[in-house]
Structure formats: C-alpha cells, structure tokens
Amino acid sequence: MPTFDIVSKFDPSEVDNAIQNLKREISQRYDFKNSNSQIEFEKDQITIITDDDYKLTQLQEILKVQITKRGIDAKALDMGKVEISAGQSVRQSISMIQGINREISKDIIKIIKDSKIKVQVSIQGDELRVSGKKRDDLQQTITLLKTQNFDLPLQFINFRD
C-alpha cells in the first residue's frame, strides 16, 4: 500500500550556515558599522541583540533571506517578543519550529477527510503518515495540502509504493 509522511523539519547545519552568512553580511554593511549587533544560534533558538529597533528589523529581514537561500521556509521562524535590554539595545529570541503539533495535525486530517480523497491519515508523534490504495490519491493529497496555508512549512517525505 503506497504511503508518505508529512513532516515539518529543518537541517540545523543549514541554519548555522545561514547565521554565518548573516554575520559576514553584518560585518560588511555600512549601516551596521560601529554597531553592537550580535546573533547567536543554539539548538532551536536564535538570539539577536542589536542597538535599536531599526537594526533589529534589518537583521530579521536579512535572516529570512539567508534562511530561504538555504532551502528552509521562513515560516519555520517563530519571532518572539522584542525585549529592551541593557541601555539602548534590544533583544529578540526567535524559535525554530520543528514538528507538527496536535492542533495543526487535527486541522490537516480534517482538511483531508473533508476532501473525500480515499486515504487514511495517522498521527505518529510529530509526523503524519498518509496511506492509500492508489498512488494518484496520495499525489492528490499532497497537491491539496500545498494549496493550504499553515503556520509552519510542511515537507512530504518517504513516498513509497
């Protein structure tokens, strides 16, 4: 029976490469000259510390561009609250979303069931497994989910006949 998995993952090494490119770009840009801008990446957390809100906005945009260049959807970034830290500087923690939570899993299952495509969906931890009798039904399911707008990036992997 053909199956595939729906996941939401990213490669941490690609995120690290994007952060390194961002640091390189900060060091070369004129508007960041003599500024105290730092960006750190640990596990699933990115921390940005900079002088003011304007520079923070610039760093966020550059980060999104660098992440996208590395093949990671910018929806994986969960922008945290901006905090004012020592002096004039601002700090923001950005979480990298990985895995599909229960609510979104239930939404995906509901969308698939409402479409009347003849497939079965099961929750397997933070992934979903879709199985059906026909390969065309699975491809139709992937097409359906690609048209939907979820708050996290979805990947379709392990397509097996």
Per-residue pLDDT tens for 50-75?
Answer: 988 888 999 999 999 999 999 998 88
Joined together, the tokens standing for residue 142 give 């992937």
Indicate the pTM of the whole model: 0.82
What does the pLDDT read at residue 31? 84
Range list of β-strands (E), 8-118: 38-42, 45-50, 77-84, 90-96
Per-residue pLDDT tens for 26-45?
Answer: 988 888 888 888 899 988 89
Domains of the chain: 3-8+99-160 (3.30.70.860), 12-96 (3.30.70.990)
Query: CA–CA separation, 85 vs 156, rounded Å?
Result: 41
